[in-house]
Structure 1
Amino acid sequence: MPDFFLFDKGPRPVAPFSHAVESDGWVILTGQMPTDPAAPDAPLPEGITAQTEQVLANLALILGELGLGLDHIVQCRAYLTEFERDYEAFNQAYLAHFEPARLPARTTVGVTALAVGALVEIDCVARRPDL
């Protein structure tokens, strides 16, 4: 049976979901928004770079609650509301968080809107080592 996780330290959910679901060593993280878990009602960071940094920090926080890190991610899906404008800056911010030889598989999609007016959302799949 899968285990469902909603962490007190994690970002406040903007919809009905778990932060993560784990089954047989596979960990699926729900899409993270650029909200600050310590100040969920604060304005979002300005610009795609700052929002990407916050989203990745939120993913790292959820993974950390499970004893994992960004290096355990095997696949990401990223959603951008301003794809053509933000794609290059998003890639630069994203790349800073992964080893060049260990980049997760990734799909990036342009969308018309995201919850809370975000510019970016990222979900991912991670795998526990040695399983």
Structure 2
Amino acid sequence: MKKIIFTDKAPAPIGPYNQAVLVDNTLYTSGQIPLDPVTMEVVGGDIETETKQVMENMKAVLEAAGMDFSNVVKTSIFIINMDDFAKINAVYGSYFNEEFAPARETVQVARLPKNVNVEISMIAVL
């Protein structure tokens, strides 16, 4: 059974997709970028600020599904500049218990929606 997850505490989709889909006990999130969920404007300034906004958006989506970061089993991180990896990793890592951190890949890409510098998606299980 497929259940659509939506919260107004994370940015509304800007295309034909949902914030997340729950199938049985597995949650598949769409990628989150650093959008303020109220203004739908990009939160910028530096890569740490962008990453924190992405993680807060992800936190809201997880909570809407009755989960938190301890439920996350896999993440995908897309970044514009691999030189930002250490800064992104520091912010990202602060949301997880390192002993139980999820599997992950980090990929440098040419461009992301709204010209942001980071996008993250997750898979979580109950």
Common fold: TM-score over 0.5: yes
For normalisation by structure 1, the TM-score amounts to 0.91
Q: Confirm or deny: 8 A CA contact 2:5 2:61 kept in the other structure.
A: no
1:117 pairs with 2:96? no
Give unpaired runs (5+ residues) of structure 1: none
- Could you list the structure 1 runs, at least 4 aligned residues long, displaced by more than 3 angstroms after superposition: none
Partner SS, residue 32 of structure 1 = coil
What is the total number of aligned residue pairs between the two structures? 126
1:78 pairs with 2:77? yes
Q: Confirm or deny: 8 A CA contact 2:26 2:125 kept in the other structure.
A: yes
Over aligned residue pairs, what C-alpha RMSD do you find? 1.2
Q: Confirm or deny: 8 A CA contact 1:14 1:115 kept in the other structure.
A: no
Partner SS, residue 86 of structure 1 = helix
User: Which residue of 2 is the match for residue 51 of structure 1?
Assistant: 50
User: Which residue of 2 is the match for residue 38 of structure 1?
Assistant: 38
> What is the letter of the counterpart of residue 10 of structure 2?
G
Q: Distance in 2 between matches of 1:10 and 1:120?
A: 16
1:14: how far off? 2.2
Q: Confirm or deny: 8 A CA contact 1:34 1:54 kept in the other structure.
A: yes
Task: Select the residue among 89, 93, 98 that pairs with 1:91.
Answer: 89
User: Which residue of 2 is the match for residue 9 of structure 1?
Assistant: 9
> What is the letter of the counterpart of residue 73 of structure 2?
V
CA 9–95 in structure 1, closer or farther in 2 if over 3 Å, else same:
closer
Q: Confirm or deny: 8 A CA contact 2:11 2:57 kept in the other structure.
A: yes
Q: Distance in 1 between matches of 2:10 and 2:85?
A: 26
Q: Distance in 1 between matches of 2:16 and 2:121?
A: 15
1:70: how far off? 1.2
